[in-house]
Amino acid sequence: MSENGALPLRGKVLTVDTMNANVKKVDYAVRGPIVQRAVQIEKELKEGVKKPFEEVIKANIGDAHAMGQRPITFFRQVMALCTYPQLLDDNKFPEDAKNRARRILQSCGGNSIGAYTTSQGIDCVRHDVANYIQRRDGGIPSDPDNIYLTTGASDGIVTILKLLTAGEGRTRTGVMISIPQYPLYSASIAELGAVQISYYLNEEKCWSLDISELQRALQAAREHCSPRVLCIINPGNPTGQVQSRQCIEDVIRFAAKENLFLMADEVYQDNVYAEGCEFHSFKKVLFEMGPEYSSKVELASFHSTSKCYMGECGFRGGYMEVINMDPGVKAQLTKLVSVRLCPPVPGQALMDLVVNSPQPGEPSYQTFMKERTAVLSALAEKAKLTEEILNTVPGISCNPVQGAMYSFPRITLPERAINEAKAKDQAPDMFYCMKLLEETGICLVPGSGFGQREGTYHFRMTILPPTEKLKIMLNKLKEFHQKFTQQYS
């Protein structure tokens, strides 16, 4: 403090120089600069600024309800009953909804969803999750004590990565993740100061995974870090591929042999569209491979209420199942999640309904099945439509959208465009996507936000807009691409 008692002339305490250096390295393209520009444009439109389009189409994020998908009636009925239990006297609600609400409320402190729950999540919900997993996996047992409810899948993923991050320099934890990947992984790895070990999916073979590529990436990584984890997203994001059972077995064998903790992000497990494709959970395959693997490989599998046919992103519901976790580490995990008290209870309740949905014979079953089927088949149609239309555009090449909610087509950019982008210090596909946004109002995320092979360019577009709007969007895209190609040739 200066002698005359006045406040010293100083800079701020918290500046880009004094802040957490790792946070500066974090990027999350799904809500990055292009989305910020899209939001700005929306404001300009509202102010009456004239544009070549009337609305911004946010095809950047897997936000199903925002794009018009309806919630499942039964789920919302139960949520309303849990929220305002007086409605249990209301004869407008079906009995099966009321029974589920009562069961959930009974397991809440003071029978209220406003009470904290245990940090691992409501006991009976974890039991229901375990039963769901068991049914899904053909009877392979699931222990409720291995289930942790989470604030969306992202929360569980970050928590496990946090546990795994240790060491320094050459012993620093290395985390294997696909290129392309959902950028939560790269962002978390950057924030935690872990080492990202990229393995390339094979674009020529429908984004499949080659063990030889895993091997290559791992060997290279061993020279500068301590690889400990292998992350895989199946069905894939952004790429949408649904890995074959053989591939999943190979990955498990690889993880076992190379001492890697396996993290299986399976949030799109119900979003499988292509014929011949089927979702196989890592847990199931692991156990079907016998005790040599099932009693050894450390696995964490993640699921969420945000995708599939529910699309309940805003509720932040999710869970993870941990297999073969060291008991001492598990105690540490439980302790770590206790600091944040508990995941949001509405999300826990919602997860309960997802894993404990109406059964044949129950009053809500038919409506439930109808709604579920409608959502999934609409997505399947839109997946096909997208692939077909994009593949008619010279300079756009789109792999089959086998699952998930996105297409990740490859775009050929003229040399002049690439140079102009570089002159602006923009990734070429960002340059392309920005122009697309300014000229058509369509907001996509450039492939550079997910990772791609050097010299290739892509974008990720959701298949979520309603079919009619999607058709319009795809045609505008086609038009834009042709114009862009001409303009920069």
Partner 1 sequence: MSENCEYRERVLTMDTMNPNVKRVEYAVRGPIVQRAVQIERELMMGIKKPFTEVIKANIGDCHAMGQKPITFFRQVLALCSYPDLLEDSKFPEDAKSRACRILQACGGGSLGAYSTSQGIELIRQDVARYIERRDGGITSHPDNIYLSTGASDAIMTMLKLLVSGEGMSRTGVMISIPQYPLYSAALAELGAVQISYYLDEDNCWSLDISELQRALQEAKKHCSPRALCIINPGNPTGQVQSRQCIEDVIRFAAAENLFLMADEVYQDNVYADGCTFHSFKKVLFEMGPEYSEKVELASFHSTSKCYMGECGFRGGYMEVVNLDPEVKVQLTKLVSVRLCPPVPGQALLDVVVNPPQPDEPSYDTFIKERTDTLATLAEKANMTQDILNQVPGIKCNPVQGAMYTFPRIHLPPKAIPEAKEKGQAPDMFYCMKLLEETGICLVPGSGFGQRDGTYHFRMTILPSKEKLKIVLAKIKEFQQHFMEQYS
Contacts of partner 1 in 259-318 (CB under 8 A): 259-261, 292, 296, 298, 310-316
- Taking residues 390 to 429 in sequence order and writing x for each that binds partner 1 by CB under 8 A, - otherwise, the string is ----------------------------------------
Residues 36-75 that bind partner 1 (CB under 8 A): 39, 61, 63-69, 71
Minimal distance, residue 412 CB to partner 1, in Å: 30
Minimal distance, residue 221 CB to partner 1, in Å: 14
> Judged by CB under 8 A, which stretch of 276-284, 333-341, 442-450, 474-482 contacts partner 1?
333-341
113 binds partner 1 (CB under 8 A): yes
Q: Which of 318, 346, 400, 409 binds partner 1 (CB under 8 A)?
A: 346
Closest CB to partner 1 among residues 178, 485: 178
Residues 167-206 that bind partner 1 (CB under 8 A): 167, 183-184, 187-188, 191
> Judged by CB under 8 A, which stretch of 108-116, 135-143, 368-376, 377-385 contacts partner 1?
108-116
Q: Which of 38, 77, 180, 401 binds partner 1 (CB under 8 A)?
A: 77
Closest CB to partner 1 among residues 341, 369: 341
Closest CB to partner 1 among residues 274, 299: 299
Q: Which residue is it, tokens 């849990």?
A: 82
Q: Which of 103, 277, 344, 420 binds partner 1 (CB under 8 A)?
A: 344
76 binds partner 1 (CB under 8 A): yes
Minimal distance, residue 115 CB to partner 1, in Å: 4
10 binds partner 1 (CB under 8 A): yes
> Judged by CB under 8 A, which stretch of 112-120, 280-288, 401-409, 412-420 contacts partner 1?
112-120
Q: Return the amino acid letter for 77.
A: Q
Closest CB to partner 1 among residues 276, 327: 327
Minimal distance, residue 128 CB to partner 1, in Å: 18
Contact by Cβ (8 Å): 193, 173 = no
Residues 452-464 as b/e (b if ≥16 CB within 10 A, e otherwise) read: beeeebbbbbbbb
Q: Which of 155, 352, 371, 387 binds partner 1 (CB under 8 A)?
A: 155
Minimal distance, residue 152 CB to partner 1, in Å: 7
Q: Which of 117, 181, 407, 462 binds partner 1 (CB under 8 A)?
A: 117
Largest CA distance in the chain: 83
107 binds partner 1 (CB under 8 A): no
Closest CB to partner 1 among residues 246, 338: 338
